[in-house]
Structure 1
Amino acid sequence: MTSSSNRLSPLQIGFMVVLFEVGSTPMFLLGGKARQDAWLALLIGSAAGFLLLLALLALQRLYPGRHLMQMLESGFGRIAGRIAGFVYCFYFAYEAMRNVRDLGELTKLTLLPNSPMAITMFLFVLTAAYAIAKGTEIVFRLPELLLPLVIISYALLILLLVATRCTDFARLAPVLENGLKPVLQAALPDTISFPFGQMLVFLMLWHLRGKPGSSAPETITGYIAVSLFLVFMNALNLAVLGPALATSRELPFLNSVRTLTALGFIERLDIMVTFLIFIGITMKMMLFYLCAVRGLAYLSGIRSSAWIFFFGFLIYASSFIERNYTQHIAIGLGPSLKIDMLFQLAIPLLLLFISLIRRSAKKKKKKNGPQRKKAPSTA
């Protein structure tokens, strides 16, 4: 994967931001602890995530043309920075593993209940490995093909839900019934970590922008668009199912779409929903996998192709550690969120702080300049 073959267009970056952030998020009721105010909790989480995104973009501006591994080396020093970089590579692999397990569980739950998860998860990892081996640009071409399909599919499902009067937005009332505190508790830090804090992964990719300039415009546009979409999907799930049912279901949007089947004039729309989830999770898994490979290739000086198989095996093997889907979800919504806060929030903000201090010191030193000695008098 040479750098010359990995240049990315602004459109590719913007499309990937949207598809990556959408992922499988519309299927869940994020901030469900706030019940009918879950949409408001997600809105608050997206606003907090936007501040984090601005910090990440500021970090990229401080290190133009560099990726996260190089930033860590510059900010923390060569030894500490490389150690942090190695840990980040395995963190990316861990996130990819969680997505692979999601894909396996979802396939077993919806489409292929009698097929072994070992086979379906192996096929997903193999597909991702093949795309990554072809190069970063190939991975980023996928959203150009898939995002229009995703948008049309979601638009069709939303239109059907609204047109058939399955929605009742009165179920979102009363707003802030128990005050703002429960909404904030539901929003922070959980909704920052998933999905908004995962934008951290783009620190490995923004430097690949083929055209001169910052990646901020397309990234911010994509982030705002997808945030509004996710907030609306949260509200839609509540409007269709009601707070009690929506908070008790593992995949509320899948249940929302199944209400259309109950009307009797259209069937098997849940298959469309399942494929939308597949597209979102697969792209997210592929991007984490790609960044783990790119990061370790840089740190080790060994070609990326060697690390594709290494991480592929590691991701596939570790996806079996959790005994069942219940344990998988419990870890994902428990200890995993605390780990996310360290990698998505604490370390990047510390790196930004150190980088700003150093930049300020350099500017001050440059402004003052060396003190010139007075020439000796010849009188």
Structure 2
Amino acid sequence: MGFKKSRLPEFISSFALFEVGSTTLFQIGAEAKQDAWLVMLLGALAGLLLLLMHLAIHRLDPKRDLFELCRTYFGKVAGTVFGSVFAAYFAYEASRNLRDLGELASYMLLNRTPIGIIILIATLVIANSVRYGPHAVFLTCLVMIPFIMVSYFILISMIAGVGLIHVENMLPVLENGLQPVMKNVLDVISFPFGQTVLFLVFFPMIHDEKKLRRSILVTYGLTALFLILVNQINVLVLGPKLAETLTFPLLQVVQQIELVEVFERMDILFVLVLFIGLGTKLVLFYIGAVAGGSRITGTPYKKWVIPFAIAILGMSFISPNFTHHLWVGIDVVLKWYPIIQIGLPVILMILMLVRKNKRGGEEEQQMV
């Protein structure tokens, strides 16, 4: 399996859309109430450290992707096991995004259509995109990123322009101390900032290695600030208690926009933007899972598109309803994600550094 090389702008566009993804759909750090911005900020800083580690791993061995790195440095057996864990994680995350997309479409646009039909059609469309590989998806993201940026700018400007923002909803800061903030930070690292481990699959595809580090870090910083702003808008408009209880708080905020009886139903624009973000995240996770299946077994990439489509479709129906789906995502799986997002990459990097130092020592001995 050899992916076609991609240029940096299209890769950066995909990274930004991936980070935004479905994050704006939910209230992150809701238990911290008005201090949700502080939870997001600390989570983003921790996520930055993880991203720096991912870039360091790539720099140590730039020609191998995540699955090849696992087999090279963990050994064939352990590397296959850990590679399979990453592939399963990517597939499960794709299934969660698929369920989110289906629930949102059913709630906002197709409330008379069975959610099973919506998710099945979405799976067929997404699978067809995955079949062409990441390069085609990256190009699509490059085309879509200006629309996403303009749409969010319009929505935020209108929210501020019609007087919906109430700064006093942020006060008092740290009313209940640091405990509620620190309690939620690990979950925020897991979603969305720790998910950048997926890009260890895609880093070897980039043409311009010299500018990759700086471009990724700048993009991450700007995206993180944007997510903190959007997340806190829910608190500023709705208040901390209401923002915590609503399933889709920002959607509720956007629905309150009414400007001179002309600009109404802005929620449709927001839903369209969400579909693009969810779709991008779903496709990239799906590609990561398919790439894993291909690398681990040594079989062609396209042979794994349909098996993973079936698996992702099936996993999206694990929860009987959306409330259970959210509970599983927040209270169950997020507790285990640090093992995959933090633990395994840390061990991988340590093994890479040990091998590099050992190799360097052997070369010095030979020179002597």
Mark yes or no: TM-score above 0.5: yes
Residue aligning to 1:273:
270
The amino acid that maps onto 1:311 is: F
Secondary structure at the counterpart of residue 309 of structure 2: helix
**Do the aligned residues in 2 keep the contact of 1:59 with 1:352 (CA within 8 Å)?**
yes
Q: Which consecutive unaligned segments of at least 5 residues does structure 2 have?
A: none
Secondary structure at the counterpart of residue 322 of structure 1: coil
Please list, as runs of the form range in 1=range in 2, the aligned pairs for 1:154-165 lying within 5 A after superposition: 154-165=152-163
Residue aligning to 1:135:
133
The amino acid that maps onto 1:66 is: R
The amino acid that maps onto 2:103 is: E
Q: Distance in 2 between matches of 1:267 and 1:27?
A: 20
Q: Deviations over 1:73-114 (max 9, x none)?
A: 122111210121122212211111111111111111111111
Secondary structure at the counterpart of residue 177 of structure 1: coil
Q: Distance in 2 between matches of 1:27 and 1:289?
A: 20
Secondary structure at the counterpart of residue 257 of structure 2: helix
Please list, as runs of the form range in 1=range in 2, the aligned pairs for 1:195-206 lying within 5 A after superposition: 195-206=192-203
Secondary structure at the counterpart of residue 175 of structure 2: coil
**Do the aligned residues in 2 keep the contact of 1:61 with 1:214 (CA within 8 Å)?**
no
The amino acid that maps onto 2:330 is: L
Post-superposition offset of 1:126: 1.2
The amino acid that maps onto 1:330 is: W
Post-superposition offset of 1:214: 5.8
Residue aligning to 1:374:
none
Are 1:227 and 2:224 counterparts? yes
TM-score when scaled to structure 1?
0.93
Are 1:260 and 2:264 counterparts? no
Secondary structure at the counterpart of residue 213 of structure 1: helix
Residue aligning to 1:243:
240
Residue aligning to 1:207:
204
Residue aligning to 1:90:
88
Please list, as runs of the form range in 1=range in 2, the aligned pairs for 1:106-117 lying within 5 A after superposition: 106-117=104-115
Residue aligning to 2:47:
49
Please list, as runs of the form range in 1=range in 2, the aligned pairs for 1:42-191 lying within 5 A after superposition: 42-187=40-185, 189-191=186-188
Residue aligning to 1:290:
287
The amino acid that maps onto 1:127 is: V
Q: Distance in 1 between matches of 2:209 and 2:84?
A: 29
Q: Distance in 2 between matches of 1:353 and 1:251?
A: 41
Q: Distance in 1 between matches of 2:235 and 2:278?
A: 23
Single out whichever of 199-208 and 346-355 deviates more from structure 2: 346-355
**Do the aligned residues in 2 keep the contact of 1:125 with 1:316 (CA within 8 Å)?**
yes
The amino acid that maps onto 1:253 is: L
Q: Which consecutive unaligned segments of at least 5 residues does structure 1 have?
A: 372-379
TM-score when scaled to structure 2?
0.96
Secondary structure at the counterpart of residue 21 of structure 1: helix
Match of residue 192, structure 1, among 176, 189, 197: 189
Q: Distance in 1 between matches of 2:177 and 2:88?
A: 40
**Do the aligned residues in 1 keep the contact of 2:133 with 2:287 (CA within 8 Å)?**
no
Q: Distance in 2 between matches of 1:103 and 1:212?
A: 34
Secondary structure at the counterpart of residue 65 of structure 1: coil
Q: Distance in 2 between matches of 1:181 and 1:263?
A: 44
**Do the aligned residues in 1 keep the contact of 2:134 with 2:284 (CA within 8 Å)?**
no
Q: Distance in 1 between matches of 2:233 and 2:260?
A: 18
Q: Distance in 2 between matches of 1:210 and 1:281?
A: 27
Post-superposition offset of 1:19: 0.3
How many correspondences in the alignment? 368
Query: For the aligned residues, what is the CA RMSD?
Result: 1.6
Q: Deviations over 1:93-149 (max 9, x none)?
A: 111111111111111111111101111111211111111212321011111111111
Post-superposition offset of 1:370: 6.7
Secondary structure at the counterpart of residue 306 of structure 1: helix
Identity of aligned residues (%): 36
Rg (Cα) greater in structure: 1
Q: Distance in 1 between matches of 2:148 and 2:173?
A: 31
Q: Deviations over 1:182-233 (max 9, x none)?
A: 212122x100000000000000001000234362122111110100001111
The amino acid that maps onto 2:286 is: Y
Residue aligning to 1:37:
35
Are 1:324 and 2:310 counterparts? no
Post-superposition offset of 1:365: 2.8
Q: Distance in 2 between matches of 1:163 and 1:322?
A: 40
Secondary structure at the counterpart of residue 286 of structure 2: helix
Are 1:348 and 2:337 counterparts? no
Residue aligning to 2:330:
333
The amino acid that maps onto 2:98 is: V
Q: Distance in 1 between matches of 2:302 and 2:205?
A: 19
Q: Distance in 1 between matches of 2:269 and 2:303?
A: 36
Post-superposition offset of 1:361: 2.2
Residue aligning to 2:307:
310
Secondary structure at the counterpart of residue 5 of structure 2: coil
**Do the aligned residues in 2 keep the contact of 1:13 with 1:218 (CA within 8 Å)?**
no
Post-superposition offset of 1:342: 1.4
The amino acid that maps onto 1:177 is: E
Are 1:366 and 2:363 counterparts? yes
Secondary structure at the counterpart of residue 260 of structure 1: coil
Post-superposition offset of 1:339: 2.7
